[in-house]
A = this chain, B = another copy of it.
Amino acid sequence: MTTRERPRDTRARIQQVALDLFAEHGYEKTALREIAEKLGVTKAALYYHFKTKEDILVSIFTDSAEQIDELIEWARSQPPTVETRREVIRRYSGLMRGNRKLLQFMHENQPTLRDLPIGETMKHRMAGLFEVLTDDGQSLPDQLRGRLAVFAISFGTMVAMSDTKHSRDEVADAAVEVALDLIRG
C-alpha cells in the first residue's frame, strides 16, 4: 500500500491503447512507437511494464478471455440438452456484445495468435465451446451447424450489414435467432 503514489495503472492503459491499435490495424502493423506516442511516453517505458511486444498481445488476450472459459465450465456442469446449448449461444452473444473491441481484436489477429504459444490455448478453448454445442451422435452437417452457430454470433456482432438500415443490436439479435436455429437435437 506504500508503493503506489501517482504512477498507477500505466500497465492497464498500455493494454487499452494496444487493444485499440491491434484491433484497428493488426499486431504486425502496429509499432511500439505508435503505442508510446498515444500514451505520451517513450518506447522504453513500455519495456518496464512488458518484456516484449508479443507480451502485450498475449496479456490482453489472457486477461480478457476467461469469461469464455467460465461459460464453457458452466455448460459442462449442465445436462447436455438442446436447451443448454441454446443458453450457451445466448450467453455467448451477451459476452460478445459487451466486448466488441476484444472480438474485433481476436478476429483481426487470429492468424497471428494462432502461431503463438497461446494459439494452443485458443484452439482448446474453441474446441471446448464446440464440444458443448455438439456431440458425436450428430450427423456431420449438424456438427458443422453447431460450429457455425458460434461464428454466426461473432459475425453478427461485428460485421455491420452493408446497408445501414439496421442497427448493430438488430443484427446481433438476428444473429442469435440464426444461431439458435442452427443448434439441433
Which positions in A face B, CB cutoff 8 Å? 25-26, 28-29, 107-109, 111-112, 115, 127, 130, 136, 139-141, 143-145, 147-148, 151-152, 155-156, 161-163, 166, 170-171, 174-175, 177-178, 181
Looking at the assembled complex, report how far the CB atom of A185 sits from the nearest CB atom of chain B, in whole angstroms.
16
Scoring A141, A147, A163, A177 by chain B CB atoms within 10 A of each residue's CB, the highest score goes to A141
28 A–B contacts, CB within 8 A, in A order: A25-B115, A26-B28, A26-B112, A28-B29, A29-B112, A29-B115, A108-B111, A109-B111, A130-B162, A136-B163, A139-B174, A140-B161, A140-B166, A140-B170, A140-B174, A141-B178, A141-B181, A143-B161, A144-B152, A144-B155, A144-B171, A144-B175, A145-B178, A148-B151, A148-B155, A148-B178, A151-B151, A151-B155
- The residue of chain B having its C-beta at the shortest distance from the C-beta of A166 within the complex is B140
- Identify whether the interface residues of A are mostly helix, strand, loop, or mixed: helix
Contacts of A29 in B (CB 8 A): 28, 112, 115
Closest to A108 in B: B111
User: Within the complex, which residue of B136, B140, B156 is in contact with A144, where a contact is CB–CB below 8 Å?
Assistant: B156
Roughly how many angstroms separate A127 CA and B26 CA in the complex, as a whole number?
Answer: 23
Expressed in whole angstroms, the Cα–Cα distance for A171 and B147 within the complex equals 12
Complex interface: chain B residues within 8 A of A175 (CB): 144
> In the complex the two chains form, what is the Cα distance from A114 to B140 in whole Å?
33
Contact status A171-B112, CB under 8 Å: no
A28 neighbours in B (Cβ, 8 Å)? 26, 28-29
Contacts of A107 in B (CB 8 A): 111
